[in-house]
Amino acid sequence: MIRVPTGAATPATIVDTLKASAGVSPKTRASFARGRCVRGTFIPSDRAEEVTKSQSFTAASRVLARFSLDGGNPRLPNTDNFVLRGFSFRLGDTEHRSDILTQSAPVHYARTPAQMLAYLKARVPGSGQRPDPEKVEAFSAAYPETSHQASYVAAHPLPASVADTTYWAVHAFPATNRYGETQFIKFKVVPVGSQGAAPTEGAARTEPEEFLHDDLESRIAARGIRFSLMAVLGRLGDPILDVTIRWPDEDRRETVRLGTIVITAIEKRDAYVFDPAVLAEGIGHPPDEIFAARRAAYTISRARRR
């Protein structure tokens, strides 16, 4: 029987409940456990300084990144194109480093740490090793905003490749440009080139278990993978504290291309950690509660894995 953590919504109880939901070893990542690290380069655009003075985004640098699948089970098959994907990347050097965590949906599943903990507890498997559907349905009915992410994923099946996927950082980041002006932005990572068609649910299940990773390796070996790193520009009155909802007309907002991420090699180890708290001057910490909880939770999870 899986032990469900008790207590208030703290970063520690959130990490414990993530692991209880997956039923995995304490040495495993609490979320996005299955992944592959890669390397490449970042080439800034000539407009990056209009958005931020951060040298992570205005200077060329090496890139360390990781493609991953949502969930705490590192043995999760690659074959479900409705499972959230992650793309974390590190820009800059040791003095001007920024770690950005993005995912294949533009919203998070909870607005506050307390809501996040309740969401996870509702999904901890019972005696049948599966979550109780009635408990999940009751929770979603009481807190409809926690269904926004799942609704988006259901309505937007993912492409057949992680290289063809669009990723978002769901938080609003305060960015200060070279003129000293500060505005909120959202990061968006867009694949360069045409996207491949998403496989149907049945077709995806017939693919080899490692097809996403195999595809990633073959694309990198053939020609590398390119993404445009975009800044979606905020406006006065945007909901910067609620990560379960999008900004009004977000997909039609003015955007600035900060630069191009070029992935050129697979890392031998999947052991690197990306810390959302690490942001070079010119990009500030988002003010929402979930970001604050994630910062602390990543520190706790990393310490326990060691």
Answer yes or no: is pLDDT of 201 > 50. Answer: no
pTM above 0.85, yes or no: yes
Which range, 6-15, 187-196, 198-207, 261-270, has the best average confidence (pLDDT)? 261-270
**Averaged pLDDT, 151-159:** 92
pLDDT digits (tens, 9 = 90+) for 62-118: 999 999 998 766 565 555 667 899 999 999 999 999 999 999 999 999 999 999 999
Tens-place pLDDT, residues 36-66: 999 999 999 999 999 999 999 999 999 999 9
User: SS in 3 state form for the chain?
Assistant: CCCCCCCCCCHHHHHHHHHHHHCCCCCCCCCCCEEEEEEEEEEECCCHHHHCCCHHHHCCEEEEEEEEECCCCCCCCCCCCCCCEEEEEEECCCCCCEEEEEECCCCCCCCCHHHHHHHHHCCCCCCCCCCCHHHHHHHHHHCHHHHHHHHHHHHCCCCCCHHHCCEECCCCEEEECCCCCEEEEEEEEEECCCCCCCCCHHHHHCCCCCHHHHHHHHHHHHCCEEEEEEEEECCCCCCCCCCCCCCCCHHHCCEEEEEEEEEEEECCCCCCCCCCCCCCCCECCCCCHHHHHHHHHHHHHHHHHC
Domains of the chain: 11-305 (2.40.180.10)
Asked whether the predicted pLDDT for residue 198 surpasses 50, the reply is no
For the chain, give the percent of residues with pLDDT over 90: 63
Instruction: Identify the weakest region by mean pLDDT among 139-148, 199-208, 243-252, 282-291.
Output: 199-208
